[in-house]
Chain A
């Protein structure tokens, strides 16, 4: 499926933030903004809702904790009980470091995988890039166009009025 975008290129972070506010106030939906570094306050300006990733993280952590406790209690308590250092078979304080590590391990890997899957940033052969300068020194604002790109002249004017240094049209093929 092919989508068309109007790309406004901005040189400055503050100009960009004000442009986002003005363009959204003019009733135009901003598809996304690409920047070389995280810009403070951009989530609020774009009206992006809070991520639910922390909720997923909590459950990944609980999974890791349960797995670690189950693994150690089963292995050392039931499957192959051994006396180590005169401690009981199920010696909970000794299980805490492993339980902690596995909680962190499950949480961070689960979060990273969830994030890549949801955002489509997982590694692949062909990477869709709006404008490579967004990884260097430019801020790129993408606004989605319809089939005929009839709004493009009007959007060009709007972006230029709000400080865009250039405006391009780009077709992206989503595979």
Chain B
């Protein structure tokens, strides 16, 4: 039975991914595939009252649209690939960011969960490859600005506002930027992992100081690339619209999800008998970060919402028009659900000290935050791409496939080194951490 009390020392621990765990990951993927197939069938056959009503109501329009842009289910599949990949890639990168911040801050408490944040970044390279492939195949469905002739005067598709953004939103520059972001993230997650593994082998403080240098450089680059990638990958979906808060907004979403993922993994490992030196004090600190950054996300969300609501300029307010009551109100529910699960629930659930120190409450809130921020990305992407034709079966199916694949790579990297970085100079401080 896992107990959350102080230990005097920690030794190397090797995670063994059991067959049961592996089967669970495969089962998640299988469930995802089943949901995906069901979703595609439902979309093609027009099952469900909503789609039926729409088919009869806008039969002609839908028919034309289908001829122009391909089947709805295919578009939904491409956008949900983009959506889930964005979420998992962001969470994965946050693993390295979390570690880098702790290095730069000379933080000792987080050493026991350091290997979890290292392992989270196992998805950066696969996620980056998927991102490029989905962009090259499906960019027309995701990004309005990639349409033919939209920037050519005289073309029937010409759009003066989008043409004005052609200096930034053009295909070569966009691809270069995307590759640069991914390369920076992949390089530093690899670099910090290597330094950490060499520290395990050879000991000494030289690896620690090198990690601090690499972390400091990475954090500067990440501050710029996280913001810019949010404009490129998410905000340019609504090409006409812009918000100066958006980079922070996406970062806040990724960041709090990443911390929730680290806390959740730590609890699962603890309950499986690993991380013996991890105590309720570490959980308490992770809980404080989850609590605090849920509020930070809300702060950014509200800063974006209130200014747009107050100024009420048509070109800005359209973003919230679509989400609050637009498309016959189909996003209104998820709009309020988003605030409830990402702000109200963590805020009230993690408010007391006791709540942050108990595994069961931390587990429930961490899962809620992860689901909540996945649906936050849903809300960012769907109204601009799927308009009134969004759904959930395909999207949840794709998310489950991503989750299963993510967990396989994540646990493989977790098992490839000791769960406790035995030669880290601050390991003792982490073991005796008290809050």
* Secondary structure type dominating chain B contacts: helix
B434 touches A41 (CB 8 A): yes
Q: Could you say which residues of chain B place their CB within 8 Å of the CB of A94? A: 306, 310
- The reply on A124 being an interface residue by CB < 8 A is no
A60 → chain B closest CB, angstroms: 14
Known: A54-B352, A54-B353. A96 touches B306 (CB 8 A): yes
Q: Which of A41, A50, A93 contacts B306 (CB 8 A)?
A: A93
A65 to B352, CA, bound (A): 19
10 smallest beta-carbon distances between A and B, as pairs: A40-B434, A41-B434, A93-B306, A93-B309, A85-B310, A96-B302, A94-B310, A96-B306, A93-B305, A86-B312
**Residues on A facing B (Cβ under 8 Å):** 40-41, 44, 50, 54, 58, 85-87, 93-94, 96-97
Q: Could you say which residues of chain B place their CB within 8 Å of the CB of A41? A: 434
Contact size class for B?
A: 10 to 19
Q: With contacts defined as CB atoms under 8 Å apart, how many contacts are there between chain A and chain B in the complex? A: 20
A44 to B302, CA, bound (A): 40
A97 to B306, CA, bound (A): 10
Q: Could you say which residues of chain A place their CB within 8 Å of the CB of B310? A: 85, 87, 93-94
- Chain B window 128-163, contacts with chain A (Cβ cutoff 8 Å), 1 for yes, 0 for no: 000000000000000000000000000000000000
B434 touches A85 (CB 8 A): no
- The residue in chain A whose Cβ has the minimal distance to the Cβ of B302 is A96
Q: Could you say which residues of chain B place their CB within 8 Å of the CB of A54? A: 352-353
A93 to B320, CA, bound (A): 14
A sample of 18 cross-chain residue pairs with beta-carbon separation below 8 angstroms, ordered by A number, consists of A40-B434, A41-B434, A44-B434, A54-B352, A54-B353, A58-B351, A85-B310, A85-B312, A86-B312, A87-B310, A93-B305, A93-B306, A93-B309, A93-B310, A94-B310, A96-B302, A96-B306, A97-B306
- Chain B window 7-33, contacts with chain A (Cβ cutoff 8 Å), 1 for yes, 0 for no: 000000000000000000000000000
Besides A93-B305, A94-B310, 15 more A-B contacts (Cβ < 8 Å) are: A40-B434, A41-B434, A44-B434, A54-B352, A54-B353, A58-B351, A85-B310, A85-B312, A87-B310, A93-B306, A93-B310, A94-B306, A96-B302, A96-B306, A97-B306
B377 → chain A closest CB, angstroms: 23
- The residue in chain B whose Cβ has the minimal distance to the Cβ of A87 is B310
